[in-house]
Amino acid sequence: MAQLHNRISRKELKERIQNDPTPRTTISFYNYVFIEDPVAFRNEMYKAFKELGVLGRIYIAQEGINAQMNVPTVNFESFKNYLYSLDGFKGLRLNVAVEQNNHSFFVLDVKVRKKIVADGIEDPNFDMRNKGRYVNAVQMNELMNDPDTIIIDMRNHYEYEVGHFVKAMEIPSDTFREQLPMAVDMMKDHRDKNIIMYCTGGIRCEKASAYMLHQGFKNVFHLEGGIINYARQIKEQGLESKFIGKNFVFDERLGEKITGDIIAVCHQCGKPADTHTNCKNDGCHLLFIQCEDCATKYDGCCSTECQTVYNLPVEEQKKLRAGIDKGRMVFNKSKAGRLRPRLNEKR
């Protein structure tokens, strides 16, 4: 029987990929399609992807699939042929990354989940087939020129912080499940407006558009393929980009430039910066924005406390972080404007 899980340490796999010159194509895709037996589907897909050398993160549920990955470029056509042979997947749009990087992923994870996007929706009458209308880059730009259009960003605060559409509204929450009812409440006095929802690759805004329609809104649109597809279309068609800054992505790159604008600041010194990084202290790994000067000053750590721990012998570091639950370690600008939590304390 074929092995259906990775058996090699992630550290070793990462070292292998970093030393492997094989050209890889980074892509993402999703598909809201009914999958009767997600476990069986997952196992067959794992075997096929493993054989093709695919690396990445794939979530499968009865409602569909959500995938971010890279594929050896030489196997890309074989990968597409396999994917398009699956029921309900023929011709599925693949979002090819704007900035390619052979090291965007280093392990293959294929997991079964209750939902491909955690949405908190329990209403049995909610139907993903009743979703908003797609808009492409040209249509997006045209609608944005209409004063009766409202743009809603359905991403997390740390994604919005480094790049977003001009005049886009941020939904001030850390989770998609909280954002959905918040978006409905924020738009309750604008039911006659054109509402365009967008996200990174399309999966969240597509579900959000269906939720808005379910809540009685009429003129709901969502950006087809999200920011990734928009960036590719404006480049190919020579269009003006109404998205400014960097698009945060959920792989080793942590972002790809759409325009040269830097709209965020270093979380340590306040200078213009848009490079996300994880704190080098293994007892922290806080995701935050750090400029090059602060990266040098703090050894890639988010605080002097973490820097002190990071420079201790490995065995002492292990003792200090024993019993620490890092939880969701993401810088949150709503928390008194400082990095949190205190990184040398047990929580």
Question: What pLDDT is attached to residue 254?
Answer: 74
Placement of tokens 């993160």 in the chain: 57
DSSP, collapsed to helix, strand or coil, labels residue 296 as helix
* 199 is an active site residue: yes
What's the first-to-final CA gap in the chain, in angstroms?
43
Q: Above 50 in pLDDT, residue 153?
A: yes
CATH number of 10-112: 3.30.70.100
Greater model confidence, 326 or 248: 248
- Decide yes or no: CATH 3.20.20.140 for domain 133-237: no
Q: Of 199, 205, 284, 291, which one is the catalytic site residue? A: 199
Two structure tokens written together for 265: 């600041």
Q: Is the pLDDT of residue 251 over 50?
A: yes
What is the per-residue pLDDT across 102-117, written as a single tens digit (0 to 9) for each?
Answer: 567 878 999 999 999 9
pTM value is 0.78
Q: Domain residues of the chain, as ranges?
A: 10-112, 133-237, 264-347
* 215-225 per-position pLDDT tens digit: 999 999 999 99
pLDDT of residue 10: 63
**Pair 284, 347: CB distance under 8 Å:** no
Q: Name residue 284's amino acid.
A: C
Q: What is the pLDDT of residues 35-61, one digit of tens each?
A: 999 999 999 999 999 999 999 999 999
Quick: pLDDT tens for 264-321: 999 999 999 999 999 999 888 899 999 999 999 999 999 999 999 999 998 888 888 7
Measure the CA–CA gap between 104 and 159, rounded to whole angstroms: 18
Question: For residue 120, what are its two tokens?
Answer: 């908190």
Alpha-carbon distance of 120 to 107, in angstroms, equals: 29
- Please state the rounded mean pLDDT for residues 246-268: 86
DSSP result, 16-63: HHHT----EEEEEEEEE---S-HHHHHHHHHHHHHHHT-EEEEEEETT
Query: Please, are residues 102 and 22 in contact by the beta-carbon 8 Å criterion?
Result: yes
Structure confidence at residue 323 (pLDDT):
65
- Cα→Cα distances 65→59, 61, 112, 330, Å: 6, 6, 9, 26
Q: What is the mean pLDDT of residues 318-346?
A: 50
- What's residue 197's pLDDT? 96
Q: How far apart are CA 159 and CA 247, in angstroms?
A: 7
At residue 346, the pLDDT reads 31
Confidence of residue 90 (pLDDT cuts 50, 70, 90): very high
* Residue at 168: amino acid letter: A
Nearest 5°: CA angle at 243, between 235 and 204?
100
